[in-house]
Structure 1
Amino acid sequence: MSPRQTNEEVVRQYALAASVNDLDGMTALRAPDWRVTWPQSGEMVVDDEDFRAIVDNYPGGSPRTEMRRVVGDVDRWVVSPSGTVLRVAGSGDFWWAEWSVTYPDGQAYQCIDLIELRDGRVWRESVYWATPFTAPDWRVQWVEMDAAYRDSPAS
C-alpha cells in the first residue's frame, strides 16, 4: 500500500482484491486490529488467519472469480463476474461497497460492505448478505427491472 493513496483508492483496491479472492491483497490493506462482523448471523472475525481459514474451508470451495472488465468513475465501479463489485462510494473514513458473489454450489448473494478506515487502512467492516429473489408478478405494473441486477440467479 502506497502512503499516498487516498481512502477512496484504498477501498477500491480492497474491493478489487476481494472480487478476485486475493486474500494477501486484502490483508495488506487492513489495519492490524481489523475486524469484520456479519450482523445477520452475529459472527465477528477478528484476524486475517481466521478469515483465510473460513474462505479456504467454505463447503464446496471458495467463489470462482474471474476479472472481465472494469468500468467506472468517481461514484461507480463495476468488476465482473462471480465476485462483482457494483459500486463503491463514501467519504472521509466511511465507505461502502455493493457487490454480488456466486459460490461453487450456485448460491448467490447481494452484499453491502460498510467499511471504516483508520490511518488509511481498512479497520472495521460490517457485511450484510442477502439472497436474490424473483420479483413478484403483482408489482410489475409499477416497477422497472434494474439492469445491474437483471442477470442475478433469481431473475
Structure 2
Amino acid sequence: MQEANIREALDAHWHASAAGDLDVEHDIYDDNAICDYPQSGERIIGRSNLQALRSHHPDKPSGFNVQRIQGEGDLWITEYTIDYKGRVTCVVGVMEFRAGKVIHETQYFSDPFEAPGWRSQWVRQIV
C-alpha cells in the first residue's frame, strides 16, 4: 500500500470522521496505534481506546473541514478545522503508517486569534 492507497485511506477516514461513522473512521488505525496530544500531555494507546475516547466526547464535532493532506511514504500531514458548538479549532495531524495502518498519530490543536494590525501592510487575509 503506498501513496495512492494511503491517500485513499485518509480520504475515507476524514469522510467517516465528518459523517460520525466511528467504525470506518478508526479502520485506518493499527490495533496498537498510539495517538499523542502534546498540548495536554496525553497519550492514547490502542485503536480501541482511541475510538472509545472519541465516542464519549461530550461535545461531538459538528463539522470537519480538511484544508490540505500532504505526505510521502509513511509520513502524512493533514491540516483541518473542527467545529465544536460553533467554535472553530485549527488542527494539524501527523500520521505515521506501517503496513497500511496508522501506528502513530500526533494532533496539535490551536484556537484562531485576531491578527494584529501592525503587520497588515505585509499580509493578506486567508479566506
Same fold (TM over 0.5): yes
Q: Deviations over 1:79-137 (max 9, x none)?
A: xxx21111111011110100000112x33210000001110112210000000011111
TM-score, normalized by length of structure 1? Answer: 0.72
Deviation at 1:13, TM superposition (A): 1.9
CA distance in 1, matches of 2:42, 2:120: 37
| 1:115 corresponds to which of 50, 73, 95 | 95
What percentage of aligned pairs have identical amino acids? 30
CA contact (8 A) 1:8 1:91 kept: no
Gaps of 5+ in 2: none
TM-score, normalized by length of structure 2? Answer: 0.87
| 1:62 corresponds to which of 60, 63, 68 | 60
CA distance in 2, matches of 1:58, 1:32: 21
Gaps of 5+ in 1: 65-81, 148-155
Please state which structure has a larger fraction of its residues in helix.
Answer: 2
The list of structure 1 runs, each at least 4 consecutive aligned residues, that deviate by more than 4 angstroms after superposition, is none
- Structure 1 vs Structure 2 CA RMSD: 1.9
CA contact (8 A) 2:32 2:47 kept: no
| 1:98 corresponds to which of 68, 73, 79 | 79
Count of aligned pairs between the two proteins: 125
Please state which structure has a larger fraction of its residues in strand.
Answer: 2
Equivalences for 1:1-155 in 2 at 5 Å? 6-59=5-58, 61-64=59-62, 82-104=63-85, 106-147=86-127
